[in-house]
Amino acid sequence: MELKRVVVTGLGAITPLGSNVSETWENILNGVSGAAPITYFDPSQFKTKFACEVKNFDPLKYFDRKEARKLDLYAQYAIAAADEAILNCGVDLETLDKDEVGVIFAAGIGGIKTFEEEIGFYYANKDMGPKFNPFFIPKMISDIAAGQISIKYGFHGPNYSTCSACASSTNAIIDAFTNIRMGKAVMIVAGGAEAAITPGGVGGFNAMNALSTRNDEPTRASRPFSKSRDGFVMGDGGACLILEELEHALSRGANILCEVVGGGMSADAYHLTATHPDGLGAKLVMKRALKDAGLSPDAVDYINVHGTSTPVGDISESKAIKEVFGEHAYKLNISSTKSMTGHLLGAAGAIEAIFSVLSVVNDIVPPTINFTEGDEDPDIDYKLNFTFNKAQKRVVNVALSNTFGFGGHNASVIVKKYTK
């Protein structure tokens, strides 16, 4: 069958750096960190006392009080991001065939805040018998953001959540891309959301020694590829892209931002939490994305890397890039925007795909901030253009975004400038 072409026509985001896409992007280009002391709970007894929280989020700007009580914070972020993306894409909801529109929205964890509160209340008040909020389960489950968005807008197309840890929302984008190009929908609302900056979330990652403990300088804690990196910084928020079949977008005069041309998936099949030391899964996923897109490695101008600022992960990814791209690896730009947003877990792929889209649209590469000194490990080759500390102007025709998750899940998506 002839595959349909798929384009991006709308973007939405609520992040530690802004309440919308434009504010977030401006701060990204200016190298602003979203890290600060945790305010969601008292972190004084935790090893890590800071994170990249969404600032000044008021649910009542998006929902009435009754509706907000039915939604975990992660779902609130998801709906807020989707609202912006749908408005941004300029579609007429009155004439849109909603049977042909889907929602594929990811979460790596889902409603952990709701889970902690409900279970905590039960064990603190066991003598009262089992008393649970009737919305406990629908607030908690990781698919509910996709369901809530479809209910709000009446979209009857494919509707589900993808869950592959930190690769979750890249998988959502790839699934949306695949469904549209196979003719199963004309438009899909795709993205991810997470709100895991909770005692359980921070405490759990602390127990694994996965988080930075640089409590004295939070804004400089996420430092991918620096010798002194000591773990990732948690972030929360939501991000959304509107993927649309090209002819459908043209027929309604949509503003086409770029084209989605390929996606790849792989498994490390190695370890619960660590990446393969030789970057095996990372190499496979980038090669598969390039093959799916019908592109040679030298077509890529920018890679938004997973780059979490962990000692092992940064090494394996840089090693994989050198092996996949060969000599061209020294000509393309690389950057980790997690150095500014923190790690949005299940939402990371969606927000980083947005940054990749905006790099293509604006011909600029965002920086990797907080670089101090190079690692002594020879597998991090500092002749690669990591775009340290300052955004760089260059023509970006093709951008690739990598995400890797606990369990060895890897996903990469490729976007390029739209041409007729």
C-alpha separations of 122 from 110, 115, 127 in Å: 20, 11, 9
C-alpha separations of 257 from 7, 241, 294, 362 in Å: 7, 11, 20, 10
Q: Give exposure, 197-227, as e/b (b: 16+ Cβ within 10 Å).
A: bbbebbeebbeeebbbebeeebbbbbbbbbe
Q: Which residue matches tokens 């293509």?
A: 360
Q: Please, are residues 324 and 300 in contact by the beta-carbon 8 Å criterion?
A: no
Q: Which amino acid is at 235?
A: G
**Active-site annotation holds for 156:** no
The Cα–Cα gap between 411 and 266 comes to 7
Beta 392-393 vs 364-365: how paired, if at all? antiparallel
Q: Please, are residues 394 and 363 in contact by the beta-carbon 8 Å criterion?
A: yes
What is the CA 141 to chain-centroid distance, rounded? 19
* Dihedral angle, C-alpha 215, 219, 223, 229, nearest 10 °: -10
State the catalytic residue, choosing from 166, 240, 258, 276: 166
Bridge partners of residue 303, in order along the sequence: 334, 400
Rg of the chain on CA atoms, in Å: 20
The Cα–Cα gap between 370 and 70 comes to 39
Q: Which of 328, 327, 353, 372 is nearest to 411 (CA)?
A: 353
C-alpha separations of 184 from 87, 101, 142, 188, 263 in Å: 23, 9, 23, 10, 17
State the catalytic residue, choosing from 248, 276, 343, 409: 343
**Active-site annotation holds for 409:** no
Local structure of 48: helix, strand or coil? coil
Q: Which amino acid is at 48?
A: T
Task: Count CB-CB contacts under 10 A for residue 73.
Answer: 25
Q: Please, are residues 142 and 161 in contact by the beta-carbon 8 Å criterion?
A: yes
Beta 50-51 vs 398-405: how paired, if at all? unpaired
Which residues are part of the catalytic machinery? 166, 306, 343
